[in-house]
Amino acid sequence: MNPTVTERAPDAAEHPDHLHLDDGAHHGKGPWFARMARWSGTHRRLVIAVWAVATIISAPLAITLSSSLSGAGWEAQGSTAVEVRDELRRDFPQLGAEAAVVVYQQDGPIAEDPSGLEQLVADLDGAPGAASVVDPLAQPVEAGLIARDGRTAMVPVGLEAAEDADLPESAGELIDHVGSLDLPEGARAEVTGEWPVWSDFNTTNEEALHKAEIVSAIPTIILLLVAFGSAVAAGLPLLLAVAGIAVGFASLHLIGDATPVSVWAMNFSMMIGLAVGIDYSLFIV
């Protein structure tokens, strides 16, 4: 009896050309995500180069994203409230939301020594972010710009920005200018109003975002090192996240220049970028 010869199937490791995907991705079939993954793997140098160039180009826009964002999102466009607000701005511009208010206070009565208030009004005239200034000393008592205590005054300042999306930036410039003024001893001035509050909110939100990045970075790196067991492998998801966030921030910047975009978009894009770049890599592992 002749012995039966059993042929061993070629080892895939020895014959890589025999490798195939059951989903038909190598034939242009199968899920589009699988086809994209295979194409990226076979053209890895091109993919890496494109993402590197995109990240470098996006960096300047990503870094300056906050300048194109607004406090939008707290109003219903087309609502009656918005229509009334627009009518008030048109018919009573001196009472409009475009005006910030600089609150001035000194130790002694303003009537006896108005020099500090006069200096403040002069400094605000033509200040960054300011389009107009109302001198409380030139207004009648009925205007209510001088408080009953005689030591406090309100200086209405019209902001130079014409669009709501740009008003927080103008208010921020005014806040910085007032904070840099050298007022007489015992005198102080603060900026308030809707748009100065929004400016402070945007600044606080940006600072909180940077703080969150720092606080979360250390445990994230430790988790990736434990999961992947290699510094190089752990660094790849971080690089993917940074590249995705940079391109996303740059896109938001361009959109924000064309239409109002809420400052919350920065938080959401950061969250999604980290999730796609890091969390999904852990799911795969």
DSSP string, 125-144: TT-TTEEEE--GGGS-GGG-
Q: Return d(Cα 92, Cα 281) in angstroms, integer.
A: 57
Helix (H) or strand (E) run with residue 233 in it? helix 231-258
- Strand-pairing partners, residue 158, are 99, 132
Q: Return d(Cα 71, Cα 54) in angstroms, integer.
A: 28
Helix (H, G, I), strand (E, B) or coil at 241: helix
pTM recorded for the entire structure:
0.60
30-to-24, 26, 35, 114 alpha-carbon distances in Å:
5, 9, 7, 80
Task: Flag residues of the chain having pLDDT under 70.
Answer: 1-30, 70-77, 92-98, 165, 284-285
CA dihedral 176, 180, 183, 185 (to 10 degrees): 120
Query: Where does the chain hold its CATH 3.30.70.1430 domain(s)?
Result: 80-194
248-to-68, 222, 280 alpha-carbon distances in Å:
14, 25, 17
Each residue's pLDDT tens digit, 144-178: 899 999 999 999 998 888 777 678 888 999 999 99
- Residue (of 157, 162, 158, 166) closest to 71 by Cα position: 166
Residue 217: what pLDDT?
Answer: 80
Contacts of 248 (CB under 8 A, 6+ apart): 269, 272, 273
Q: Indicate the CATH number of 80-194 among 3.30.70.1430, 1.10.760.10, 3.40.50.720, 3.40.50.2300.
A: 3.30.70.1430
Each residue's pLDDT tens digit, 91-130: 766 555 557 999 999 999 999 999 999 999 999 998 999 9
Cβ–Cβ < 8 Å for 209, 20? no
Helix (H, G, I), strand (E, B) or coil at 155: strand
Residue 35: what pLDDT?
Answer: 87
What are residue 278's phi and psi, to 5 degrees?
-110, -55
Within 10 Å of residue 193's Cβ, how many Cβ atoms?
Answer: 21
Residue 260: what pLDDT?
Answer: 78
- Residue (of 138, 177, 182, 131) closest to 157 by Cα position: 131
